[in-house]
Amino acid sequence: MRTEKNIGVIVLFLLPALAGLFLFKLYPILSGFAQSLYTVRFLSGEKVFAGLQNYVSLFTDPVFWGSLNVTLWFNVIITPLQIVLAFALALLLNAKIKRIAWFRSIHFVPVAVSVPTACMLWNIMLSPEQGLVNSILIGLGLSPQPFLSGSTQALGSIIAIASWKGVGYWALFLLAGLQEVPVSLYEASSLDGAGRWKQFVHVTYPMMKRTLTFVVVSVTIANLLLFAPMYILTKGGPEHSTNVLMLESYNNAFQYSDIGRSSAIVMIILLITLVIVALQFRWLKTSH
């Protein structure tokens, strides 16, 4: 009897959190899935149930497969790149050297710049006519490069810009994790004759597993959903070389008014994200 009363009290206290979870997490997903099952007639604007037709249409559309290919390549390159650079930057910021506070402040500047401002800044710097980067290349006797206007260089340029903007942000979390590693562990390993590399492998890396798990999952999700630089700088071009799935979804929703197709793409992105994050949790958990 007492247990039943306790369960009632527990449910009562959990109810606000469960309501918030349903309202802000589950309902948008369910609503998005429901919208992906409908299509809108162009002339009348009438909403018509289409079942899985939006998904069938996507799987037979080469534009969708091209966007999926760009999205996967983008994430395969940028996610490990940002994690490695952020970890290296965090190790540098954690060093006990003079004026380190100045360097920590300077590295935070890209984080404080908004994404649209960063995109406009780099768009000017990478301009093929009067951009700073191409001016330097010409000054060195090299040919100017179509960084954002060439189909073979646009995705790489956006990866570089997004990494410039994001690495400092992720390094902050890793720096916080590094500063939580007990100094006594380094002192004990030094007494055992361990060098810096062995200290990193046997002390720093194991103690950073939880922080790394958070950063790896967060970087993956952020990059899978990233589309603002592509929208601002290249509009998905040239030749669809930067047309990631989120940008394709945005274009379908707000340019072509095809909410059903846009929602179907979002559902596929959600499924891909869940699979990748589940694998990352499994991999990082087993390696603990």
Q: Could you report the per-residue pLDDT of 223-269, keeping only the tens digit for each?
A: 999 999 999 999 998 999 999 999 999 999 999 889 999 999 999 99
- Residue 47 binned pLDDT confidence (cut-offs 50, 70, 90): confident
The tokens describing 93, both together, are 């910021």
141, pLDDT greater than 50:
yes
Q: Could you report the per-residue pLDDT of 151-202, keeping only the tens digit for each?
A: 999 999 999 999 999 999 999 999 999 999 998 988 888 888 888 889 888 8
Whole-angstrom distance, CA of residue 184 vs CA of residue 7: 45
Q: Could you report the per-residue pLDDT of 248-259, keeping only the tens digit for each?
A: 999 999 998 899
What letter would DSSP give residue 78?
H
Q: Which of 60-64, 72-76, 142-146, 273-277 is predicted with the least confidence, judged by mean pLDDT?
A: 142-146
How far, in Å, are 46, 246, 254 from residue 43 at the CA level?
8, 26, 17
Residue 288 has a pLDDT of: 47
Q: Could you report the per-residue pLDDT of 74-113, keeping only the tens digit for each?
A: 999 999 999 999 999 999 998 888 878 888 888 888 888 9
**One-letter amino acid for residue 264 of the chain:** A
Bridge partners (DSSP) of residue 40 are 47
DSSP H stretches of helix in the chain: 2-21, 27-36, 53-59, 62-93, 100-107, 109-112, 115-125, 132-139, 154-178, 183-191, 196-199, 205-207, 209-225, 228-233, 245-254, 259-286
Task: Determine the average pLDDT of the residues in 120-148.
Answer: 90
Rg of the chain over Cα atoms, rounded to whole angstroms, equals: 24
Q: What is the mean pLDDT of the chain?
A: 90
45, pLDDT greater than 80:
no
What letter would DSSP give residue 63?
H
3, pLDDT greater than 70:
no
Residue 247 has a pLDDT of: 95
Dihedral over alpha carbons 183, 189, 193, 199 (to 10 degrees): -80
Task: Determine the average pLDDT of the residues in 201-224.
Answer: 92
Kindly give, in sequence order, each residue whose CB lies less than 8 Å from that of residue 137, ignoring residues fewer than 6 positions away: 143, 144, 145
Fold of 61-284: MetI-like fold (1.10.3720)
